[in-house]
Amino acid sequence: MVSVVAVAVPSVPTKPARNPRSTAKNSPLSGRVHDASGTFDESYYERFYESHASRVYGHHEVEHLCRGVTELLAWYGADLRSVLDVGAGTGLWRDWFRKNKPAVRYRSTEWSAYACERYGHERRDISRWRAKERFDLVVCQGVLPYLDDDAAARAIENLAAMCAGFLYLEAITTRDLRDVVDRERTDTEGMRGRSGHFYKSRLKPHFQAVGCGLFYRRSGPLSFYELEATS
């Protein structure tokens, strides 16, 4: 069993970006759109993460996502012992794991100095950092679209190196910006509009897609039905 440790007006129907992290805060030290000049300070987090009036998602929505991801892992027969959360923001995944799966070892990283101090994450640049340990589940939600192409490619390599089992990845593409994202509720400033092919081609050597944003490491022991996973 595997083990897991813990950046145009939409067509109808209009959806908000399904990610509380659909903001321009997740940029690496070099290659990121923004620098560390204070852009991602207390006022920024209040507007895009804490305020009920302006945030996209809160605890309730992320609880649904956490349950969905962990239940799919259970359905596939995976052990979940460790999680790495890359770009952890206000720590909503951590809150859920502490409440619902306290035995799971959880580790969180962020780039924003304010977020690291306020919410208790390690300050790491995913385009230039990889841990020696490997995790049963790696979460990377709303980070890669804010990196330039080279940094995003390096980040994917680092994510793959740290993943022993499943990767949960959310990365908005040009198609999503055109057809899915509600720009009225999403800060798209600094977002790199890349094709889905950019991500898929770099993930494919390491992972097979198994649905709902989940990717499974090709060298892992689990097997999937033909229609459950892409080759």
Strand partners, 35: none
Neighbour order of strands in the sheet with 207-211:
122-123, 105-110, 82-86, 135-141, 163-170, 214-217, 207-211
Please state, for a pLDDT cut of 70, what percent of the chain lies above it: 73
What's the number of domains the chain is made of? 1
pLDDT range class, residue 98, cuts 50, 70, 90 = very high
Q: What is the CATH number of the domain that holds 104?
A: 3.40.50.150
Task: Please report whether residue 154 resides in a domain.
Answer: yes
Task: Please report whether residue 95 resides in a domain.
Answer: yes
Tell whether the model's pLDDT for residue 21 goes beyond 50: no
User: Which pLDDT value is given to residue 45?
Assistant: 67
Q: Which residues of 120-143 are buried (b: 16+ CB within 10 A; e: fewer)?
A: ebeebbbbebbeeebbbbbbbbbb
Tell whether the model's pLDDT for residue 182 goes beyond 60: yes
Tell whether the model's pLDDT for residue 41 goes beyond 70: no
pLDDT tens for 129-170 read 999 999 999 999 989 998 999 999 999 999 999 999 999 999
In angstroms, the Cα distances linking 35 to 29, 38, 39, 147 are 7, 8, 8, 12
**Which residues span the domain enclosing 205?**
42-217
Task: Please report whether residue 6 resides in a domain.
Answer: no
Q: Are 189 and 47 in contact (CB under 8 A)?
A: no
Task: Please report whether residue 8 resides in a domain.
Answer: no
Tell whether the model's pLDDT for residue 11 goes beyond 60: no
